[in-house]
Structure 1
Amino acid sequence: MSTPIRNQYLALKRRYPDALLFFRLGDFYETFDEDAHVVARELQIALTSKPMGKNLRVPLAGIPHQTLEQHVATLVSRGYRVAICEQLADPASVKGLVPRDVVRVVTAGTLTSDGSLAPDAPNLLAAYVCHPVPAVAFADVTTGDVQLAEGPHAPLELARLVPAELLVEDASAVPEGVTAPVRVRPPLSEVAVEAELEGVLAQPARQALVPGPAAARALALLAAYLRETYPAALAALQRFRTIEGDSTLLIDGRTLRNLDVFPSGERRSSLFGVLNVTKTPMGARALRERLARPSRDRALLEERLDAVEWAAGRPMERERARAVLGRMPDVARIAGKVGARSAGPRDLHALREGLRAALDLGVALGEQPLPALLDRARAALASAAEPLLAIDAVLAPDPPATFEDGGVIAPGVSPEVDSLRELARDARRFIAALEQRERERTGIRSLKVGYNKVFGYYIEVTAANAHLVPAEYQRRQTLVGAERYVTPELKEWESRLTGAQERLAELERQLFAQLVESLAGSLRQLLDVAAAVAEIDVALALGQAASERGYVRPAFTEQPRLRIVAGRHPVVEAALGPGAFVPNDCELGDDRQILILTGPNMSGKSTYLRQVALIALLAQAGSFVPAAEAELPLFDRIFTRIGAQDDLAAGQSTFMVEMVETAQILHRATPRSLVILDEVGRGTSTFDGMAIARAVVEYLHNRADAAALTLFATHYHELTALADVLPRVANAHVAVREEAGDVVFEHRIVPGPSDRSYGVHVARLAGLPPVVVARAERLLAELQDGRQRLRGEPAVQLSLLALEPSPLEEELATLDLDAMTPLEALQKLYELRARARERRR
């Protein structure tokens, strides 16, 4: 027969069978049964057992309550869901079983612990639907941000924003390239959709903020999941934004990886890493979003560039403001906790410091005229004043982390709080004086007054002095060599102190909860302040990068024309150091739509291609660019086909992946796109590859609806002849200089086709054995002269690869076939084949 607490646990576990259930018992969270085995293994903690009924012991693994966040974050990072069960009443005030319930389920998309989240990246929960059109809803429960997209660009947003967790109604509808954990949810009825939407966004606002019925369904799916897992977060969802496809430069996840826009895998160097000199977490996340979702809104881009230009040209004002930003905590995530009513005393203390810094930031920017973007942000900072006053009026100057320690509420806020504190101080003074008084009264010089959580306050006397103990001392505990006592007077003062502390903690909790509720009413103001700080931080960071790295303001043109003078690759340049990178020009336009780039491997072709794409991306992110001059159109999409890799999970070879990616580009490119193609066709035979590469160039050139500006790097030198027959195709190559039979790659892009590939020279640089390189040079000379075609002199015998004749070869060489009948020869052949097969096993 199980105990009542066991039955309570089992009832809750049946409601959350797919989660690890952390069950609050006093100061611990405990897990039982199979959950205990998993938790003990994953957290490397002890697995014990606990009696929970007659003849019943169950496996147990527990953690102290103060370590919950870090352990939950560890489990979630390993793919587990964690249900947190809390005590809903004070055990001291309840007779019998303490009521308990699950208050939230922590998943990858609903994780909120500060120590486990990257400060420079959002933690997104996403919901995706594909009917009647694709749509996606994103929510960051740590900041209250919600983003909605509906239309053909919605699947791209999943690849760009990389959610931590994805919700779908149909497992077969998951878009290509999604790496997040996917949770299939039951489809919602129309009535359920309406009910969920009403809970997060009232009807008038919904019409303005939700782009369509599919996006509304995605938002409802997301809200229903939060209602199950983290209902408190629903109130924190305050900032709703629509992602418009026609105002955004569309970049898929593959292109972001190809261009190393963000760190990924083992490649840590990235564009984000180079530019991210922001001072605040809000600024870092805003910069990340700009790079992942560049704009096509020219007016917005000019505003952003005006702000960067101001920051770049005013180093003193910039550094003064950045010094203030350096004091700023993560106001957005603290505001998210306020919205979810989960903020603690130290959170509000940090928020207070952040709001104070926001007002100081406005002062640091001064009253001087500012570019429009910075001017609006400076004005928004003034919203910090009201919530700052509210916090200062209630919260102690330096509050403790928990209410048990007391001192959360400022003096003068509540007469009852002040009275209880005075009572507690009186009790502590009496107890502190008691030790000296009792020493003098009893003559026991070693007597001392102490405290522990089990027995409370006590008077400790060594065994040697036990005969001096007064009659009114009551023995409470016996130790080795000592006795612990209490007196009626000590118990009375302890009762006063304990009562005062308990009532004080209860009252401070109530007053603090009222403060949090009041601030939650100002949540939009808090989030507006955080957004303003982020805008200023990004502008100043980009201004600093532009100033230190010699970036220039790009100009935009309505014509499909790209002109870059002395462009540099921002990531490679940062790695090499000042002055080491070789800059290059690039010009594409109506009469020069496609540039075919040839040159040896390792000479810098791929770097040049990525450099042009990154300059275009930076310009449309509202940043200055690494060049002497730059004029660009506003691209609608950037496509890249770079690198070679198998997609083993999809059962696709390197060549198939290459062709699928190329097909997607040809189907989706427009005359407003930028296309980067590197070595198309290299994954198959020479003639197949060359034919495909030429057909791709012709398609991009001849199709008016796909005539994108294109950089096409290739090792097929035959393609350079296309410039003679296709009027908008031009050639360029990477300059190479020969010195004393060796080659030097100059990394300069010069007009015209390359006359040689220098593959053998690259092979020598790669460290191939000299005998192999020498043989390759002779064979290359023969092929170029059109003489031997891989015949001619006998193949060089490489001693390292020479093999001794096998017994089968020796026996075959000694056979006298003329002396055998046809049947004998056939039998001998079968015998040799059988032995050969035996050797292969």
Structure 2
Amino acid sequence: MAQYTPMIQQYLKIKADQKDAFLFFRLGDFYEMFFEDALKASKELEITLTSRDGGGEERIPMCGVPYHSSENYIRQLVEKGYKVAVCEQVEDPKAAKGVVKREVVQLITPGTVMEGSMLDEKENNFLASLSHFTDGTYTVSYNDLTTGETSVALITGGFDAAMSELYSRPVKEVVVAHDFPEDHVSILRDRLGYTVSFEDRTNVDESFSHLIKDVQQDKLIEGFGRLLQYIQHTQKRSLDHLQPVKVIELKEYMTLDMYSKRNLELVETIRKKGKAGSLLSIVDETITAMGARMLKQWMERPLLSAPAIETRHNQVEGFLDQFFEREMLREQLQSVYDLERLAGRVAYGNVNARDLIQLRNSLQNMPGILSTLQEFDHHSIKELYRTIDPLDSLKSLLEESIADDAPITIKEGGMIRDGFNEQLDDYRYASKNGKQWIAELEKKERESTGIKSLKIGYNRVFGYYIEVTKANLRYLPEDRYERKQTLTNAERYITPELKEKETMILEAQEKSVELEYELFLEVRERVKAYVDKLQHLAEQISRIDCLQGFAEVADRNDYARPTYVSGRTVDIKEGRHPVVERVLKGETFVPNNIYMNDETDILLITGPNMSGKSTYMRQLALTAILGQMGSFVPATSASMPIFDQIFTRIGAADDLVSGQSTFMVEMLEANHALSHATENSMILLDEIGRGTSTYDGMALAQAIVEHIHEQIGAKTLFSTHYHELTTLEEQLERLQNVHVRAEEYDGHVVFLHQIKEGPADESYGIHVAKLADLPKELIARASDLLEQLESSTKEQASTQAEKDEQLSLFVEEEKPEPKGKKEVSSSIEHYVENLNLLEMTPMDAMNELYQLQKRIKS
């Protein structure tokens, strides 16, 4: 350290405490970075790398970004998963003795972002903590610093269940203890893409004890404590907006594991990795940003309580029945800003006057919204109306205090409305009159001197001055004008009269700005007292926004209100896939019925590729999710049980990160479903077994179907290309064959997308290849090969029938086993078990049968 200058020594000491973050070190109008930070930041931000003399033998790397535009650079780093420690000068450089004192005032991380430009307004920005206990349980804690929302959940299903829980929310950063298993840290960081941070402290300070008053379990408190300690460490400021911790009772919500959420494309698509084309993109008719965030949360956690689902459906129906009132409400919601995040900014201390104008404008719309809600006839909407406090007193405060044209900055004046403070009005009057006096003086001086180009100006260095070009200097009186500054083409003067007014004007301006800042802070503190009520109002408006959005979706897309039965019958009439029907271009979606009574647990679906098997399967899952969210569903009518879990295995993809093949991923996802499903669950399995050999795949597929039928009893849709499995309908009483109808016409296949009872008659694979425009000669060759294979299969089947008949000659009725023959019997049984006639040539098979005959005779 001694070799470096005092300033670089200061930098290194602060950097030692911020090893995993870029240190933005304030030097004048720039944030500077040195050493490794400079090398890395110059590449990540594409800014110039320079160097400076730091006192050592070699120059040290250096790069920097302007203070006024630092937010954009910080955003770039945070979006890439990095952390940024903001180090400010905390004393006046003029008063400093030696190096100016500096401190880290905030650590900005992916999970603790507060600035609006770094956030998706329609999505939460969750920081999570994950705590592991010796009994195998985990706790997951969440906090959205922008809204203050905080929640905790206890996970009993191991690390996989904890990952699925994290995957259910837009988590940007996960906090764990330093002794958290390294392989799990790697999965969180590399496979799920989270920024991983470390915090060992788990205590909850006394000042935050009110947040956990409703939390009873020590594990949940400890998990929240880790999260809270990390937030306190990084933010270093008021956290008064943190809301009381909500305990997430997972048993109250449908379980959707990470595989199902991905396969069903609930909030983003698999290929495009974006919202477009997802279920969320179809049903999001919310108006406000906070409503959009609540909708996403509802989609991530469908309800299991029939009364709670019924309440939402009643409210949707109430909005649906009155079109004109709903349209008026939607228009009024357009003028409501993000109350939830505005409340967070107020409590956090980074709110500006423009934010308060948005808050005021939002509150000014509350009376109209309440009036419109009163127009709805349905009692459930009137119940929503009764929960809203329009906060009239806060509205009045903001109307009286904040100017309509207030600037973003809070230290240059112009924020406070005239009439709010008498002293401020006096300063403004003096300043305004002084400036008017200046204008009159300029006019008078021009007239008295005859110099038409004479002007009175102002700058911060010299104050007010009278400027006269050098060509007109001879016209100036000698007794009144005192030279102040010489320019190339002009001279600047001041007079005793101007000097007197200057003091008054500048003093009034300076005191006015200082007083405005003080008044703004006072107003902000008064607004802060309303944070709890603002958060409650935000929640109610968000709920109204979600429900009216559901009504809008139902109205536009002809959705029906679902009903829920105590039994296990699924009866959906003319059901549709909510996404596919909206993205079809020039085509009409073909609806299908889905019927599974108490005696039918499994639908075995056969049919050609591209015919709609996967669509049929997915639309059942999406219908169930929509209904249990509180939405109406895409069908003419729908009657269903409430599903506790949905498991899907649809699509094929290697897991390159963990090095697992398509088949391994398929087996892992299938195992997850078989291990966790109950008779109240839904299982969707698409083409299980296709990743291995034909016989292996067929055997596994059949065994899985039998296991679901005999051991689980869940409502299951199982699609397959193994037509041999259709015979299971004769063996499994609660399995039914259905197929997707296709017709062959003039050498071409026509997919009708209709689900019919019974098995498919053929797969039409070569016809699909035709649709894909494969070369004609290839199609012809494939047709020839298919004909040969089918002929060979028939021949083998005939040969096998003959073998079976011959083998039956050697098999006698079962007799009591003679004493002393156990060893021979065991040998014969072993021989038969390992005999696979179907894989032998006819001649080899006959030889084996001959050997078996001799064994039996002997």
Q: Residue 653 of structure 2 aligns to a residue in which SS? A: coil
Show the counterpart of 2:359.
351
Deviation for aligned residue 1:385: 1.9
Deviation for aligned residue 1:256: 1.4
Show the counterpart of 1:610.
618
Deviation for aligned residue 1:12: 2.8
Deviates more, 1:116-125 or 1:470-479: 470-479
Choose which of 123, 133, 144 in structure 1 pairs with 2:148: 144
Matched, 1:183 2:201: no
Give me the whole-angstrom Cα distance separating, in 1, the residues matched to 2:353 and 2:733: 70
Q: Residue 649 of structure 1 aligns to a residue in which SS? A: coil
What does residue range 32-43 of structure 1 map to in structure 2 within 5 Å? Answer: 32-43=34-45
Deviation for aligned residue 1:394: 2.5
- Taking only aligned residues, the RMSD between alpha carbons, in angstroms, comes to 2.7
Which letter maps to 1:249? M
Matched, 1:732 2:734: no
Kindly provide the CA deviation profile for residues 679-715 of structure 1, in whole angstroms up to 9, marking residues without a partner as x: 1111111110000000000000010xx2210000111
Which letter maps to 1:728? R
Give me the whole-angstrom Cα distance separating, in 1, the residues matched to 2:419 and 2:301: 50
What does residue range 573-612 of structure 1 map to in structure 2 within 5 Å? Answer: 573-576=581-584, 580-612=588-620
Deviates more, 1:618-627 or 1:392-401: 392-401
Q: Is the alpha carbon distance of 1:437 and 1:356 closer, same or farther for their aligned partners in structure 2, counting shifts above 3 Å?
A: same
Show the counterpart of 2:553.
545
Q: Contact between 1:782 and 1:789, CA under 8 Å: does it hold in 2?
A: no
Show the counterpart of 1:751.
757
Deviation for aligned residue 1:335: 0.6
What does residue range 78-117 of structure 1 map to in structure 2 within 5 Å? Answer: 78-89=80-91, 98-117=100-119
Q: Identity, % of aligned pairs?
A: 41
Give me the whole-angstrom Cα distance separating, in 1, the residues matched to 2:653 and 2:296: 26
Deviates more, 1:496-505 or 1:733-742: 496-505
Show the counterpart of 2:812.
none
Choose which of 306, 309, 327 in structure 1 pairs with 2:335: 327
Deviation for aligned residue 1:673: 0.4
Which letter maps to 2:735? V
Choose which of 240, 250, 256 in structure 2 pairs with 1:245: 250
Q: Contact between 2:689 and 2:697, CA under 8 Å: does it hold in 1?
A: yes
Deviation for aligned residue 1:579: 7.3
Which letter maps to 2:417? A
Show the counterpart of 1:430.
437
Show the counterpart of 2:808.
none
Q: Contact between 2:204 and 2:229, CA under 8 Å: does it hold in 1?
A: no
Q: Residue 104 of structure 1 aligns to a residue in which SS? A: strand
Deviation for aligned residue 1:494: 3.9
Q: Contact between 1:19 and 1:80, CA under 8 Å: does it hold in 2?
A: yes
Q: Is the alpha carbon distance of 1:40 and 1:493 closer, same or farther for their aligned partners in structure 2, counting shifts above 3 Å?
A: farther
Q: Residue 677 of structure 1 aligns to a residue in which SS? A: strand
Deviates more, 1:59-68 or 1:322-331: 59-68
Q: Contact between 2:81 and 2:195, CA under 8 Å: does it hold in 1?
A: no
Show the counterpart of 2:129.
127
Deviation for aligned residue 1:252: 1.6
Q: Contact between 1:555 and 1:630, CA under 8 Å: does it hold in 2?
A: yes
Show the counterpart of 2:229.
224
Show the counterpart of 1:450.
457
Which letter maps to 2:733? P
Give me the whole-angstrom Cα distance separating, in 1, the residues matched to 2:123 and 2:357: 24
Q: Count residues with an aligned counterpart.
A: 779
Deviation for aligned residue 1:129: 1.0
Deviates more, 1:502-511 or 1:489-498: 489-498
Q: Residue 223 of structure 1 aligns to a residue in which SS? A: helix
Which letter maps to 1:715? H
Give me the whole-angstrom Cα distance separating, in 1, the residues matched to 2:463 and 2:406: 25
Kindly provide the CA deviation profile for residues 282-305 of structure 1, in whole angstroms up to 9, marking residues without a partner as x: 111111111111110111110100
Show the counterpart of 1:624.
632
What does residue range 249-288 of structure 1 map to in structure 2 within 5 Å? Answer: 249-264=254-269, 266=272, 268-288=276-296
Q: Contact between 2:373 and 2:382, CA under 8 Å: does it hold in 1?
A: no
Q: Contact between 1:150 and 1:212, CA under 8 Å: does it hold in 2?
A: no
Q: Residue 300 of structure 1 aligns to a residue in which SS? A: helix
Q: Is the alpha carbon distance of 1:154 and 1:147 closer, same or farther for their aligned partners in structure 2, counting shifts above 3 Å?
A: farther
Show the counterpart of 1:165.
173
Choose which of 203, 213, 216 in structure 2 pairs with 1:194: 203
Q: Contact between 2:238 and 2:348, CA under 8 Å: does it hold in 1?
A: yes
Give me the whole-angstrom Cα distance separating, in 1, the residues matched to 2:399 and 2:261: 45
Q: Contact between 2:238 and 2:347, CA under 8 Å: does it hold in 1?
A: yes
Q: Is the alpha carbon distance of 1:452 and 1:28 closer, same or farther for their aligned partners in structure 2, counting shifts above 3 Å?
A: farther
Show the counterpart of 1:800.
none
Q: Is the alpha carbon distance of 1:786 and 1:5 closer, same or farther for their aligned partners in structure 2, counting shifts above 3 Å?
A: closer
Q: Is the alpha carbon distance of 1:686 and 1:470 closer, same or farther for their aligned partners in structure 2, counting shifts above 3 Å?
A: farther
Matched, 1:503 2:505: no
Q: Contact between 2:374 and 2:382, CA under 8 Å: does it hold in 1?
A: no
Deviation for aligned residue 1:677: 0.3
Q: Residue 663 of structure 1 aligns to a residue in which SS? A: helix
Give me the whole-angstrom Cα distance separating, in 1, the residues matched to 2:8 and 2:376: 68
Q: Is the alpha carbon distance of 1:318 and 1:577 closer, same or farther for their aligned partners in structure 2, counting shifts above 3 Å?
A: farther
Kindly provide the CA deviation profile for residues 84-108 of structure 1, in whole angstroms up to 9, marking residues without a partner as x: 2234356577787654322111110
Show the counterpart of 2:313.
305
Q: Contact between 1:782 and 1:788, CA under 8 Å: does it hold in 2?
A: no
Q: Is the alpha carbon distance of 1:195 and 1:544 closer, same or farther for their aligned partners in structure 2, counting shifts above 3 Å?
A: closer
Q: Is the alpha carbon distance of 1:578 and 1:463 closer, same or farther for their aligned partners in structure 2, counting shifts above 3 Å?
A: same
Show the counterpart of 1:77.
79
Give me the whole-angstrom Cα distance separating, in 1, the residues matched to 2:631 and 2:762: 38
Which letter maps to 2:748? D
Give me the whole-angstrom Cα distance separating, in 2, the residues matched to 1:516 and 1:307: 36
Deviates more, 1:497-506 or 1:130-139: 497-506
Q: Contact between 2:302 and 2:629, CA under 8 Å: does it hold in 1?
A: yes
Show the counterpart of 1:22.
24
Give unmatched runs, 5+ long, in structure 2: 797-858
Kindly provide the CA deviation profile for residues 226-279 of structure 1, in whole angstroms up to 9, marking residues without a partner as x: 111113363221153221111100102221121111124515311111111111
Matched, 1:342 2:350: yes
Q: Contact between 1:278 and 1:538, CA under 8 Å: does it hold in 2?
A: yes
> So what's the TM-score if we normalise by structure 1?
0.87
Q: Contact between 1:223 and 1:234, CA under 8 Å: does it hold in 2?
A: no
Q: Residue 640 of structure 1 aligns to a residue in which SS? A: strand
Matched, 1:402 2:404: no
Show the counterpart of 2:382.
375
Give me the whole-angstrom Cα distance separating, in 2, the residues matched to 1:175 and 1:212: 29
Q: Residue 171 of structure 2 aligns to a residue in which SS? A: coil
Q: Contact between 1:139 and 1:147, CA under 8 Å: does it hold in 2?
A: yes
Kindly provide the CA deviation profile for residues 391-432 of structure 1, in whole angstroms up to 9, marking residues without a partner as x: 223323432222344221222332221222222223322333
